[in-house]
Amino acid sequence: MSLIQPLSWRYATKKFDDAQKLTTEQLQELLKATQLSPSSYGLQHYKILIVEDKAIREQLREAAYGQSQLTDASQVIVFAAETGINEEYIKDYINQIAQERGVSREDLKSFEDSMLGIISHQTGDQIIAWSHKQAYLALGVLLTAAAEMGIDACPMEGFNAVKFDEILGLKEKGLTTSVIAPIGFRSEQDDYAKFAKVRKPDGNLFIHI
């Protein structure tokens, strides 16, 4: 099925209908699609929080400059980047591959060494930047899957990440807020749904070489 129609239908939803919630099945399918996002080496350098708690969402709204999507959407999805991609993290991943693919750790040694080599040459900040990139990729998969399912979403980075980390207790979990996406269904009063899409014309976007 062509994705052009759903991607044209979707928009960054400003006003959600707070009476409409995703069904359990819709939420599960959307999360499953997001779980299938590719990531560098497959390390999935993030965790994904599904925030439903009303009181927490009120606090998050305040830390997101009052943006109403935080409280009115069905759920708020928070992509939280891993801050500590280290030897242990990689070892756990290699163990998982060995188990799920039925191969020996020895067979995976060159792959493991390649990842260990990468992290040994990176500063802590570079590793966090690497994690953020992967989180944004997962956001893209979520937005595309949501559009295909007729679910509205708003990608957002208009929030105070330090406050989000505090409210969600992320620092102690080795995480930091990357980007968020409230999901749900648009309000009929959201004029943004009617706005024409503004995108670079082909000649200014695509460079065929």
Ligand X SMILES: Cc1cc2nc3c(=O)[nH]c(=O)nc-3n(C[C@H](O)[C@H](O)[C@H](O)COP(=O)(O)O)c2cc1C
Q: Which residues bind ligand X (CB under 6 A)?
A: 11-12, 14, 67, 154-158, 179, 197
Lookup: tokens for 51: 């925030």
Minimum distance from residue 181 beta carbon to ligand X (Å): 9
Minimum distance from residue 137 beta carbon to ligand X (Å): 12
Minimum distance from residue 152 beta carbon to ligand X (Å): 10
Q: Whose Cβ is closer to ligand X: residue 69's or residue 83's?
A: 69
Q: Whose Cβ is closer to ligand X: residue 15's or residue 93's?
A: 15
Q: Whose Cβ is closer to ligand X: residue 115's or residue 180's?
A: 180
Q: Whose Cβ is closer to ligand X: residue 45's or residue 112's?
A: 45
Using an 8 Å Cβ cutoff, are 152 and 185 in contact?
Answer: yes
Residue nearest to ligand X (CB): 158
Q: For the stretch 179-189, what's the b/e string if a residue is b when 16 or more beta carbons lie within 10 angstroms of its beta carbon?
A: bbbbbbbbbee
Minimum distance from residue 10 beta carbon to ligand X (Å): 7
